[in-house]
Amino acid sequence: MKALRPLSNTREKIVGLAQNYIQGIGYHSFNYRQIAADLSIKNASIHHYFPAKDDLGLAVIEQAKADFAAATESWASKSPTARVEALLGIYRHYLEDGRKLCIVGSFGACYQDISPALQKAIDSHVEQIATWLTATFAEGLRTGEFKFAGTAEAMTSGWTSTLVGSLSIGRTHGAKHFEQALDYLRQSIR
């Protein structure tokens, strides 16, 4: 998720660059040397903040969770339609910003190869997103703004799966396919 404020210190810059690498090339494909070069610092400086790569991965997930919480809080007074459009806008930003995957998709792609601590953290982020989306869908159904068969929970499962997948398809087949997936999601609640 896009940072909501400028990165002001070395730790924040390390986390921001790590997130960029994780979303762009994957968790297992980036290393501390890349971040050190970007910041013109030594690897040891990164190890000072994050002794192990998992520590940095956890910080990236925690930052993504904090960014999502701040974003959804800023959308709280909007209609359910406006809130889901804002969410779609975040995913569009990922595609437009170098065809990146979201944090869920990035860690999901290597889920079986990451530590239990990282698995638990990404599971928590998925639950955070699902809880918010389910509440938004339930409100939209209650007010008549959304119309769909089934439960808000089932719609959330479809949306979260499609959002993660839409970035992969957008990455490989271009923005047209990504936008078609978003249009499909919009139609699913009308």
Q: What pTM was estimated for this model as a whole?
A: 0.90
CATH of the domain at 83: 1.10.357.10
- Residue 99 within a domain: yes
Residue 118: name the closest of 167, 159, 126 by CA: 126
- pLDDT above 90: residue 99: no
Q: Is position 11 within any domain?
A: no
- Structurally, the chain folds into a number of domains equal to 1
Residue 174 within any structural domain of the chain:
yes
- Expressed in percent and rounded to 5, the helix, strand and coil fractions of the chain are 75, 0, 25
Instruction: Find the DSSP H helices in 26-151.
Output: 32-39, 43-49, 53-74, 80-96, 103-108, 116-143
Q: What one-letter code names the amino acid at 14?
A: I
Q: Is residue 179 part of a domain?
A: yes
What pLDDT sits at residue 8? Answer: 60
Place of tokens 């979303």: 23
Which residues span the domain enclosing 128? Answer: 60-188
Query: pLDDT by residue (tens digit) across 116-175?
Result: 999 999 999 999 999 999 999 999 999 999 999 999 999 999 999 999 999 999 888 988
Is residue 173 domain-resident? yes
- Tell me the C-alpha distance between 24 and 129, whole Å: 21
User: For 14-18, 78-82, 96-100, 130-134, which range has the lowest pLDDT when averaged over its residues?
Assistant: 96-100
List, for residues 35-52, the tens digit of each pLDDT value.
Answer: 999 999 998 999 999 999
Identity at 120, one-letter amino acid code = K
